[in-house]
Chain A
Amino acid sequence: MQDFRGTVLAAQSGDEEAFARLWREFQPGLLRYLRMKAPTVAEDLAADIWLRVLRALPTFEGDEQGFRGWLYTTARNRLTDWYRNGERRPDLIEYSSLVLLPAVNNVEEEAAEHSATDRAIALIGELPPDQAEAVLLRIVAGMDVPRVALIMDRSPGSVRVLCHRGLRRLEQRLLALEGVAAPTGTELAGVGADGVVAGQVERLHA
């Protein structure tokens, strides 16, 4: 990010435009990370994480990597809270009520929105959690190995190995998919829901 330090200082002084630049720079990566971890509530969690960042923004001091590390550490902590508090348990709805509920989304529109980025994130999400997180923090969040190691509470060597193994799995996955027809828009509509994409891809294999 250009002139990160100046942007942060301006935001700390109350400059809304400066904060908007920060938000536009970091929000997409944060959303992708959260969509991998908690696809159904990624946007809600992202909003909550930014609230926490805003509360502590006046006290932040550091460079861009430091800010990324702070942001994703906050995200991980929020995710941990989300898991521990049982928020991930879906509400139970009686089946007969489903037909009475209006459609909350437009499948065609959602399919159009889901681009190669979303498919890529979904594929990375199929990896074992540690490998997926290491690859995502390195690629999507744009952090270096030491920073990722700090966030994941692992050694830098361990992070490198996780990335290595994750890439290998992805490569194998892609090779496996090459022999399969491209998924349709309807099948892509499930991207983002827990395990839906993986399940549908598996069915395509069969």
Chain B
Amino acid sequence: MTTETYQAPDSVSGLQTKGIGTAVLGLLLTGAGFAMAGLDRFYEAYLVAYVFWVGVSLGSLALLMVHHLSGGAWGVVIRRPLEAATRTLPLMAVLFLPIVAGMGHLYHWTHADAVAADPIMQAKEAYLNAPFFLARQVFYFACWIVMATLLNRWSAEQDRTGDPALAVKMARLSGGGLLVFGLTVTFAAVDWTMSVNPHWFSTIWGMLYMVGQGLSALAFVIAVLVMLSTVPPLDRVVNASHLHDLGKLLFAFLMLWAYLSFSQFIIIYSANLAEEIPHYLVRSAGGWQWVGWSLVLLHFALPYGLLLARDTKRNFNRLRVIAMWVVVIRLLDYYWHVAPEFHTTGLSVTLVDVALPIALGGIFVAVFAAQLKGRPLLPLQDPGLAKALTHHTH
């Protein structure tokens, strides 16, 4: 056990190649879609695609910090995939630039004449203005990248030296880090998607994003872990008990997502206030209601019903399929948040709405795989490793 180095198998390089191929395909489709639909549609689709994929990176950062605080076999086996996903954050900061370029297309509050004619936007101008918006984005990414870099650096050092003080250091950073994460993601969610409609507000929005990101990240690393568990070196390590724990966590995140989404709906629906209800009025007509029903059935009821059974959570292939389904269906949730605001008269989908998530996904997966294969697949000196290797539950 002490000499095992847990080098990444060839399938990780294969994943990287697939990612690059997918990115090329996605970019070609995006080009075609852009030619068809124009710049406005491009930026709308880009915002959705970006929020969708940055959710995997940020959710991974949060889960990694939760694991550093709580410990547990579930976290030991996914720690390296989580760390690799957090190392995509510098890439995600670069990929934010198109949103900066498209601010005029995405955010009504960037137009001085529109603000001058609208008392509500004037009242929010101290927060919703371009320079402050940009400064906040720099601050968010600085926080996230610094936390991810420190956790990754100390983790590599732990592999080399086995110094027990490093586990304590990572736990300490994670305690404060989760607070910073909660605040920054809440504000980022307000900036990125809530301010698309500067009149509307929901105080649960930030929580919805944190939980959505955790769900995305967990589903993504479960899919990766099952892929890794079919070949050496992890085939001897990952067992049904690990999957069972991760499946239970996925189930919990799924329920929390549904709980928060429904809470927002039931509160706004019951109060029926003029400043809140338009959000759901737009989404209950013109074809948007089918997107809402699809979320209830495909994002909640279907994976929930399947994950309810113990056997599903302990079955590698079934859990992998459900996890991949959850990763994909998350896109519909972000689409539901953003797209109806631009198309209040009715459902409207174009090629870029599908092409951009594929393109960004290809880029994300390629960089993720490149990061994943650079380090051992298990934290070699984690204090909980020996226990995680013999993990057994009912």
Is this pair of chains taken from one and the same complex?
A: no
